[in-house]
Amino acid sequence: MDALFFLQLFIVLACIGIGGRYGGMGLGAGGGLGVAILVLGFGLKPSTPSITAMLIIICVIGAVSVLQAAGGLDYLVRVAEKLLRKKPQAITFVAPILTSIFTLFCGTTYVAFSLYPVVAEVAAEAKVRPERALSATVIAASVAVAASPMSAATAGMLAILHEYAGISLGQILAIALPSFFMAAIVTSFSVYKRGKELEDDPEFQRRVAAGEYEFMHTAQKKEYVASAGAKKGVVIFAIGVVLVLILGSFTGLLPSWDGKRLSTPMVIQMIMLTAALFIMIVSKVPSSTLNSGSVFRAGLMGVVAILGVSWMTATFFDAYQPELIKVFGGMVNGAPMLFGVVVFLFSLVIMSPAATVAAIMPLGVTLGIPAPYLIAIFACTCGDFIIPGANQIGCVAFDRTGTTKIGRFVVNHSYIRPGFVMVISQVIFAYLIAQVVL
């Protein structure tokens, strides 16, 4: 590796770091700048961005956005609230699993974010230290995107691994889903007795004595009545998800031409667009609301981020493919799981599982890492918990008892322990399951 390589690597990391400060759109713009410098400044041949992954994301985000406009996401949140209040004493275990299920179903953490204030208040009312439930819930809900059939991260993995090794969606999920749930349970146990009990916590006692805290009754003040359109929208979306799972798992059901079978990514695109149309028709969704929801805006920014980052990193890695294979090939062939550390470190900078998949997983393919190992380290793309983001910071505010904290050094916060436990345990479980599934 010469000085030019390290200069270009610095430019790639700098563009990711600077762009990441401005969110998804910033990542995409930073990636675009990096491509321009590498191609126009250094003369590298531009690579092709991950078009297949972006098309899947657009179609899935379109369907979820229509579901949100139909009131389906609000309906799901209300259902979750009722379930959380049924077992308040067990909230440290119930909340992470329940919120994760909604993330798995919709492929986005936006549904989970709406539940965090409820988790905080229900825990406090049950005299359970809110830090325990909140920290495990935030981590589990965010890592769930690495096990959701509807997430942008899974779409990226499918696009890469389907072309690389003919891996199907069903094979990815057969490893990712059970390993995720087992890791979520381990994570809940890791914080089950964390810190002092709520009534013995000095900060909570201070807030109560100073009149800064008083218990709130967590029951809904006004009964929520879901519209028929919201319920129908959820049913239609669920049917779409089931069809994706069936056709993505049993590819023999798909048509073929000239000996080449219809690809799973195309199936997902077709079904999600079809589901979106049926939700619009059946739920009578006003056209003016289709592109104004938070899911649509975030999804669009995610597509821009993946476009810029994947384009830039692919251009860089393709230019130095022989050198990278020579330097890292022997290392990862001897211990393929070490590549997970590389993925995790990159995720700290990129701060997006989907963008991390698009940027780094192709390098794993280039190095010849077997598909089972790449699936096993899928959760390593979720290292963005190290530097507190919107979810972590928001939950510090939601916890009125003061038990959930961001430390003086920023990275010493309430989510560090459950974050590492979740990612490490999921990788271990996924590795073991992959030996059986693949």
Given a cut of 70, whether residue 222 has pLDDT beyond it is: no
Which tokens belong to 419?
A: 């974050």
Please state at what angle helix 321-334 crosses helix 353-366, rounded to 10 degrees: 90
Asked whether the predicted pLDDT for residue 37 surpasses 80, the reply is yes
| Mean pLDDT of the residues in the chain | 87
Convert 134-169 to b/e letters by CB count within 10 Å (16 or more is b): bbbbbbbbbbbbbbbbbbbbbbbbbbbbbebeebbb
pLDDT of residue 40: 95
pLDDT of res. 277:
93
Q: What are phi and psi of 49, to 5 degrees?
A: -65, 170
Is the pLDDT score of 351 beyond 70? yes
Average pLDDT in the 429-433 region?
96
Higher pLDDT, 332 or 308: 308
Please report the pLDDT score of residue 236 as a whole number: 94
The whole model's pTM is what? Answer: 0.84
Pairing of strands 260-261, 256-257: antiparallel
Find the mean pLDDT for residues 81-100. 90
Q: Give the number of residues written for the chain.
A: 438
8 A C-beta contact, residue 354 and residue 298: no
pLDDT tens-place string over residues 91-145? 999 999 999 998 898 887 877 777 888 898 899 988 999 999 999 999 999 999 9
Dump pLDDT digits (tens) for 64-76. 889 888 888 888 8
407 token code pair: 């430390």
Residue 147 and residue 182 in contact, taking contact as beta carbons nearer than 8 Å: no
Q: Select from 147, 141, 146, 158 the least CA-distant residue to 55.
A: 158
Average pLDDT in the 415-432 region? 96
Helices (H), 144-263: 152-165, 169-191, 202-209, 228-249
| Residue 432 in this model has a pLDDT that exceeds 90 | yes
- Token pair 């990129």 in the structure block, residue: 350
Counting residues of the chain whose pLDDT is more than 70, the rounded percentage is 95
Tokens of 65: 């956005």
